[in-house]
Structure 1
Amino acid sequence: MARQRNVKLEALLKECGYTHQELADQVNRTAEVLFGKATQCTDRHVRRWISGDVQWPWSRYLLALQEIFGRSPEAMGFVPRKSSRVPAPPPRPTRVKEERPVRRREFIAVGLAAALGLDAIPSAGRLGASDVERIRAIVPALYNYDHSLGGGALHEVAALALGQVHHALNHCTYGDRVERALYAASGDLAASAGWFAYDAGRQEAATGLYNEALQAGMLAGDGQLQARVWSNLAMQARLLGRDQEALRIGRAAVETRQAKTDPWLMALLHCRQAVGHARVGERVRAERSLVHAETAYGRAKGEPAAWLSFLTPAELTGLAGAAHQALGKHQRAQELTGAALGMLDSRFERNRVYYQLQRAQALLDGGDVEQAVDEAHRTAAMMERVQSDRVRSRLSDLRVQMRRYAGSVPEAADFIEQTRATER
């Protein structure tokens, strides 16, 4: 029988948030519960199951997989031989507590919900300033995780927190001053949840959350929140291929009074506008926006808002690289992106992966295929630690472009094969 890729198992990994190594580790843990001793499953075993090289795993692996996913071998995409049979589970060893694995994203969400103290948000009674501060503290804590984990791990817990804030708004009592502060806090949380959904690839959910944040910003009289949401909507429009719409939205954000009085926000807005102008071929406007961004950043003092904590010199340099890449200046883009990576703080792991992909793209577009493959390999190895559909989409696009070199550059062919599991 010809080898056939196990798309069912591949889909299960994606649904449950497992990387190859994470599933192998879970197989070993589950087998220890089942057999009383660990197996030696590795990521190589998982890759061979998915590629179809192994169509019916050994019994000890098969039983562990059935326990993990709660499905029959055939439902997991395995193909039995004539002599194959589903093995009977062994007697459970005594004094070992049976564990049922939890999906990775759900595990993160549960852990974060507890760490953030969401249960402390009142559901009845009168709300005061301390309650507002408790709600406001959620967003900075979430962004600390976002920088490393990515939005795929956070949008659900942010939505859960937002739901509890909605309940408090509708079932508690409060005065006028607290009411405005509550709307500002809930808008901040909605905008953050929208960003996480955007990063996770859930664009419809992101749009709804952004609209909610805009409404809350108007009710609170919070112009900065509204400018922030306009900026994120512009990014989303650009992601969806609506470049002119993105520029118009971004221009509206730049022209707000709040942006003009907040150099942190203005620097980011001009950087994003620079990328937008570059994407439609407006070189002079793109370069002008980059100059405006540098000028605004030079006026920034103190600490930015939590959602702007990623805006460092490394980020500005990386966005400048993105603008030059869009203008077709691949060598300059590669230099700027490399400089950004050299400056980037270790806590910004998701952004590091993003900019490593940007550098790989610049190298590829500049004709340095082998070095682009090396950079992409390093990126793929790091990507398993973050959950960002936006970043994974970029890797998928890079893989597609590398196919044209697969016949002439062995490294490109190897990269495509080794990252097949990332195909969308």
Structure 2
Amino acid sequence: MSNAGLARRVNDLGAASGLTLRYDKTSVARWVGKGMTPQGPVPHLIAAVLAERLGRPVPLEEIGLDESGPSDPDLGLSFPRDLAEAVVKATDLWRHDHVNRREFLTGTFAVTAFATPLARWLITPADALAEHRGSDRKVGQTDVAKLREAAAEARRWDSKYGGGDWRASMVPECLRVEATPLLRGTYHDSVGRQLFGATAELSRLAGWMAFDTGQHEIAQRYYIQALRLARAAADVPLGGYVLATMSLQATYRGHPHTAVDLAQAAVERNRGVATAKVTGFLHLVEARAHARAGDPGACARSLNAAEGHLERARPGDDDPEWIDFFSYDRLCADGAECYRDLRLPEQTRRFTATALAGRSEAYARSHGLRLAVGAQADLAAGDIDAACGAGMRALTVAQRVHSARNTAYVRDLVSGLQAAHAREPAVREFTEQVRTSIGITA
């Protein structure tokens, strides 16, 4: 990685955490050549960039910088075998996140942290017993129903407003204030399974919202705890769904081979267990990983499997509520991203056209992402006017939703347009609109 590349990535990670940084290659030269130490959270951002490239955690002392992270840097990354310990670890994460989320933002995302949770879930995807005798509070179906209602409402907020909307903060708060006392209460096995399932889905949602805002260090911790709670619930499809979100994060962060492993584990463990609709989505996530890895054959097989299972899904199937979003237009949207990664613009345009015909208001963020993907395909096909037109519509969505992913997709489009067509009037106009409306340039 060049000095300029390191500086750009540090600036990008800082922006995702709400920081305005303007480092350049000269700054990096000062750090390396003159031993100057950047201030504030910047050393941790540097370590995060290096961890991305190496695929493992990079302690600050390894790169000659002082350590000043959270008191327990591994908080939320463990996957205890013992259920009682698992509850302690999960609730500790929720409490600490409330006290000082900024400490987690100075940590690093490392794809290797998924290895132990994946292995332990594959070996034992369901705990033997979920009953607990704790405080005087007796947990019942009504308590669980409230958590499930909170999760359903949060899914709607997230899809419509993005993971950075103010409502998103209510999910970690629900886990800390509502779920924690319930987990410490008294419940028999049946209610315990449902309680763990509801808290697993809330933890997965908290992770997904953090992922959508670029807070990958936090997202990873919530995902790992969600997987452990899904095991306590003996809910193998939910565990597979959590693995799928882990896989999407690994794909997005540039670790497609690990993403393939995570998705395939979800598929294999759910054979004969999950509904057709759930299985179809797991195959779709696997296709995304294969595409990013540059394997068109494996991608096509997974896409075909996803479509086949979705076609076999029926309204009367016992589908969980969390899979309601998966429809044919979502299949086409992810298929378009697969073909984008495989650099097949015509297929990308065709799939995007179908995806954009689907629901838009309730799934505003997804609609914006689809517009940006379609614009990238238009650019690859040489249709600059179409690319700028779709880009303008994607920009309109990015202004309404609070999503780092939507912003990143628009930014990537601007970069591509400026690289080859910077002098085109439509490109100049679009770039200026992006600069003035969401404050980014290529």
Q: By the TM > 0.5 criterion, same fold?
A: yes
The one-letter amino acid of 1:263's match is: A
Match of 2:4 in 1: none
- Whether 2:234 is the aligned partner of 1:221: answer yes
Report the Cα distance in structure 2 between the residues aligned to 1:171 and 1:260, rounded to whole angstroms.
Answer: 30
- Whether 2:186 is the aligned partner of 1:169: answer no
What whole-Å deviation, never above 9, does each CA across 1:313-356 have from its counterpart, x for those lacking one?
11111112222222221012112101210133432111110100
Counterpart selection for 1:209 from 202, 206, 222: 222
Match of 1:280 in 2: 293
Give unpaired runs (5+ residues) of structure 1: 1-10, 17-122
CA shift, 1:305, in A, is 2.7
Counterpart selection for 1:151 from 163, 185, 193: 163
Match of 1:373 in 2: 388
CA shift, 1:172, in A, is 3.0
- Whether 2:152 is the aligned partner of 1:140: answer yes
- Whether 2:440 is the aligned partner of 1:423: answer yes
Match of 2:193 in 1: 180
- Whether 2:358 is the aligned partner of 1:346: answer no
Give unpaired runs (5+ residues) of structure 2: 1-13, 20-134
Contact 1:321–1:334 (CA under 8 A) maintained in structure 2 = yes
Counterpart selection for 2:244 from 208, 219, 231: 231
Contact 2:276–2:313 (CA under 8 A) maintained in structure 1 = yes
Counterpart selection for 1:128 from 140, 144, 150: 140
The one-letter amino acid of 2:188's match is: G
Report the Cα distance in structure 1 between the residues aligned to 2:336 and 2:249, rounded to whole angstroms.
Answer: 19
What whole-Å deviation, never above 9, does each CA across 1:227-277 have from its counterpart, x for those lacking one?
111111100001110011111111111101367532111111111222221
Match of 2:321 in 1: 306
Report the Cα distance in structure 2 between the residues aligned to 1:200 and 1:306, rounded to whole angstroms.
Answer: 24
Residues 388/258 of structure 1: CA separation in 2 closer, same or farther (3 Å cut): farther
Counterpart selection for 1:193 from 187, 206, 212: 206
The one-letter amino acid of 1:412's match is: V
Identify the structure with bigger relative contact order (alpha carbons < 8 Å, sequence gap 6+).
Answer: 2
CA shift, 1:399, in A, is 1.3
Residues 321/259 of structure 1: CA separation in 2 closer, same or farther (3 Å cut): farther
What whole-Å deviation, never above 9, does each CA across 1:184-219 have from its counterpart, x for those lacking one?
111111111111111121111111111111111122
Report the Cα distance in structure 1 between the residues aligned to 2:422 and 2:202, rounded to whole angstroms.
Answer: 49
Match of 2:425 in 1: 410
Report the Cα distance in structure 2 between the residues aligned to 1:340 and 1:200, rounded to whole angstroms.
Answer: 23
Contact 2:183–2:195 (CA under 8 A) maintained in structure 1 = no
CA shift, 1:182, in A, is 1.3
CA shift, 1:382, in A, is 2.2
Matches within 5 A, 1:11-410: 125-153=137-165, 154-169=167-182, 171-257=184-270, 260-302=273-315, 304-410=319-425
CA shift, 1:422, in A, is 3.5
Report the Cα distance in structure 1 between the residues aligned to 2:366 and 2:183, rounded to whole angstroms.
Answer: 37
The TM-score, its normalising length taken from structure 1, stands at 0.68
Residues 345/305 of structure 1: CA separation in 2 closer, same or farther (3 Å cut): farther
Residues 166/260 of structure 1: CA separation in 2 closer, same or farther (3 Å cut): closer
CA shift, 1:300, in A, is 1.2
Contact 1:124–1:168 (CA under 8 A) maintained in structure 2 = no
CA shift, 1:170, in A, is 5.0
Residues 231/403 of structure 1: CA separation in 2 closer, same or farther (3 Å cut): same
Q: Based on CA coordinates, which of the two structures has the bigger radius of gyration?
A: 1
Tell me the C-alpha RMSD between the 2 structures.
2.3
What whole-Å deviation, never above 9, does each CA across 1:82-112 have from its counterpart, x for those lacking one?
xxxxxxxxxxxxxxxxxxxxxxxxxxxxxxx
CA shift, 1:155, in A, is 3.4
The one-letter amino acid of 1:216's match is: L
| Range with bigger deviation, 243-252 or 267-276 | 267-276
Question: Counterpart of 1:127 in 2: which secondary structure?
Answer: coil
Report the Cα distance in structure 2 between the residues aligned to 1:146 and 1:159, rounded to whole angstroms.
Answer: 14
Q: Which runs of 4+ in 1 moved over 4 A?
A: none
Report the Cα distance in structure 1 between the residues aligned to 2:285 and 2:223, rounded to whole angstroms.
Answer: 18
